[in-house]
């Protein structure tokens, strides 16, 4: 079965069980609780979805929840898979292909990230203005499926100016401090060295993580509007004199999940 056929089979499976979503939200490490805000939810475990990869990472629930929020039909993807788990980027972006093929026109990508810019303290929510791809690969490599988009899609405005403006409006209304910056994606799973962080800072990166960029690239190829939001969960290596660990990431995500969910709900209400 071709990759295109696998995506279409998953699309038909979801379409037969849930109403068509208007917007999709990919929930990063520790941020999956947002899915519980959806009303009249249809819950589809990833294990039940045809060809859908299941994440094995702590903090990723592994379920698709489709429901209503702020009068919008929302698909919340509670968890994602990563390059470092041994998947190729076609597998990493399978869910994005399905969401776009379902008719989603706005995709909100969230993640937990390390703060390179020292002004971005742990617990800050950062809107992604642009990204740097250091994954060593691109999800569009290989044969192009013309039904999904052009061979050489423009990437001069990956993250929608309109959606970033809405995020700022909601943050002001909620009296929430919202950062902006450039997200740099690395393969992981080891955290970065202090020397690498110094190099990333010189490149213009404000935050570092191991996801999001492949999904954003695929979404833009398929003409889906993208908003990216990072939860700054820790200071990157060398910024503070202490080691990094995933428990810290999860704890900070837990502390900000209320503000994070309110921000997302406000954004969705204005779409």
What is the DSSP annotation of 212-258? SHHHHHHHHHTT-EEEEEEEEEEEPBTTBSS---HHHHHHHHHHHHH
Sign of torsion over alpha carbons 181, 157, 35, 259: positive
137 annotated active-site:
no
70 annotated active-site:
no
234 annotated active-site:
yes
Among 82, 183, 216, 261, the one annotated catalytic = 82
211 annotated active-site:
yes
55 annotated active-site:
no
Among 246, 259, 262, 265, the one annotated catalytic = 246
180 annotated active-site:
no
Among 99, 126, 210, 236, the one annotated catalytic = 210
Among 10, 24, 29, 111, the one annotated catalytic = 29
Among 112, 113, 126, 167, the one annotated catalytic = 112
82 annotated active-site:
yes
141 annotated active-site:
no
Among 55, 211, 230, 233, the one annotated catalytic = 211
Among 101, 117, 160, 234, the one annotated catalytic = 234
Which residues are CB-neighbours of 219 under 8 A, at least 6 positions away? 96, 100, 107, 109, 226
60 annotated active-site:
yes
Which DSSP symbol is given to 48?
A: G
Query: Is 99 exposed, middle or buried (CB count within 10 Å of its CB: 0-12, 13-18, 19+)?
Result: buried
Q: What distance in Å separates the CA atoms of residue 195 and residue 209, rounded to the nearest whole number?
A: 16
Query: Is 209 exposed, middle or buried (CB count within 10 Å of its CB: 0-12, 13-18, 19+)?
Result: buried
84 annotated active-site:
yes
Which CA distances in Å does 85 have to 30, 81, 184, 211, 233? 18, 7, 19, 11, 21
Among 9, 85, 196, 265, the one annotated catalytic = 85
Among 18, 60, 126, 237, the one annotated catalytic = 60
Q: What distance in Å separates the CA atoms of residue 200 and residue 47, rounded to the nearest whole number?
A: 37
Query: Is 40 exposed, middle or buried (CB count within 10 Å of its CB: 0-12, 13-18, 19+)?
Result: exposed
Q: What distance in Å separates the CA atoms of residue 182 and residue 216, rounded to the nearest whole number?
A: 13
Tokens for 190, please give them. Answer: 């080891």
Q: What distance in Å separates the CA atoms of residue 271 and residue 129, rounded to the nearest whole number?
A: 18
The residues that are catalytic are 29, 60, 82, 84-85, 112, 210-211, 234, 246
């Amino acid at each position: 079965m071709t990759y295109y056929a696998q995506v279409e089979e998953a699309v038909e499976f979801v379409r037969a069980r849930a109403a068509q979503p208007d917007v999709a939200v990919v929930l990063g490490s520790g941020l999956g609780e947002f899915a519980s805000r959806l009303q009249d939810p249809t819950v589809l475990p990833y294990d039940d979805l045809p060809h859908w990869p299941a994440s094995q990472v702590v903090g990723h629930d592994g379920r698709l929840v489709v429901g209503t929020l702020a009068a919008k039909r929302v698909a919340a993807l509670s968890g994602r898979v990563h390059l470092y788990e041994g998947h190729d980027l076609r597998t990493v972006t399978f869910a994005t292909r399905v969401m776009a093929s379902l008719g989603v026109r706005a995709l909100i990508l969230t993640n937990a990230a390390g703060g390179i810019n020292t002004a971005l303290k742990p617990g800050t929510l950062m809107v992604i203005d642009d990204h740097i791809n250091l994954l060593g690969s691109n999800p569009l490599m290989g044969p192009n499926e013309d039904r999904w988009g052009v061979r050489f899609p423009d990437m001069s405005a990956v993250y929608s100016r309109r959606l970033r403006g809405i995020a700022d409006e909601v943050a002001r209304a909620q009296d929430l401090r919202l950062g902006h910056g450039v997200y740099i994606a690395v393969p992981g799973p080891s955290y970065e060295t202090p020397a690498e962080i110094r190099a990333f800072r010189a490149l213009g990166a404000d935050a570092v993580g191991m996801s999001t960029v492949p999904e954003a690239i695929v979404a833009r190829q398929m003409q889906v509007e993208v908003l990216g939001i990072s939860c700054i969960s820790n200071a990157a290596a060398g910024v503070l004199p202490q080691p990094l660990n995933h428990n810290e990431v999860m704890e900070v995500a837990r502390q900000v999940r209320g503000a994070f969910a309110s921000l997302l709900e406000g954004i969705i209400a204005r779409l």
